[in-house]
Amino acid sequence: MKDILRLCLSIGLVCLGGGAALAFVNAKTEAPRRAAAARTLVDSVKLVLPPETAATVSAPSVDGVDFYAAQDSAGRTIARAAVGSSRIGFGGELKVLVGLSLDNRILGVMVTEHSETPGLGTKATDRKAQKSLWAVLAGKATEDVFPPNAYLDAFTGRPATGFSLGGAGQSQPVQAVSGATISSKAVLDAVNTICRAAQVTEER
């Protein structure tokens, strides 16, 4: 009996010590993690905005969608960016960043956070540059900071009024990526969330 109590006590102390250590590490790294995430967001926002963007300023959020105003060197607002999310992805929540022109057309779409299946769901979420072996060996490979993705690029240039998966008979149709239907739907859901929020800001 004493051995069992001793064992339980030992296990309890180990668990308590491990939990305390994890809590300490989490507290110590929380601020750096938030700062790194903020820097990453700032860099990503610039990719979906016009090249003449000199600064981005936080704007009021609408229905869980965070907005950012893009300003030129004279301080004039020239576009907007918005971050929305969806929880229907195969790997859970994903976040999408959308650039919007002043006339509410989509400038660009990119997925900033996701847990989709590599090689399948990522076909609908990732922008990965394709480099030939010869270009790499010859030292001629260039770094594309905004590589193409056929699915994500299907939204570009269209009015932000809502999209649907399906054929040409539907309003603003986009084709799901073969083998990545769930991930495609999640991206579409996040984009539509942003479109609805953008419409609300236009009506105000």
Tens digit of each residue's pLDDT (9 = 90 or more) over 16-73? 777 777 766 666 666 665 554 556 666 788 899 999 999 999 999 999 999 999 999 9
Torsion of CA 18, 20, 24, 25, to 10 degrees: 20
pLDDT in tens, 156-175: 999 999 899 876 656 789 99
- pLDDT at position 103 over 80: yes
Which tokens in the block code for residue 197?
Answer: 């929020």
Question: What confidence tens digit (pLDDT) does each residue in 130-160 have?
Answer: 655 554 555 554 567 789 999 999 999 999 9
Separation between Cα atoms, residue 176 and residue 152, nearest integer Å = 10
pLDDT the model gives residue 10: 77
184, 124 contact by CB (below 8 A): yes
CA distance 18 to 37: 27
* Greater pLDDT, 133 or 10: 10
| pLDDT (average), residues 70-88 | 96
Say what the pTM is. Answer: 0.79
The pLDDT of residue 24 = 67
Q: Which of 99, 94, 12 is nearest to 48 (CA)?
A: 99
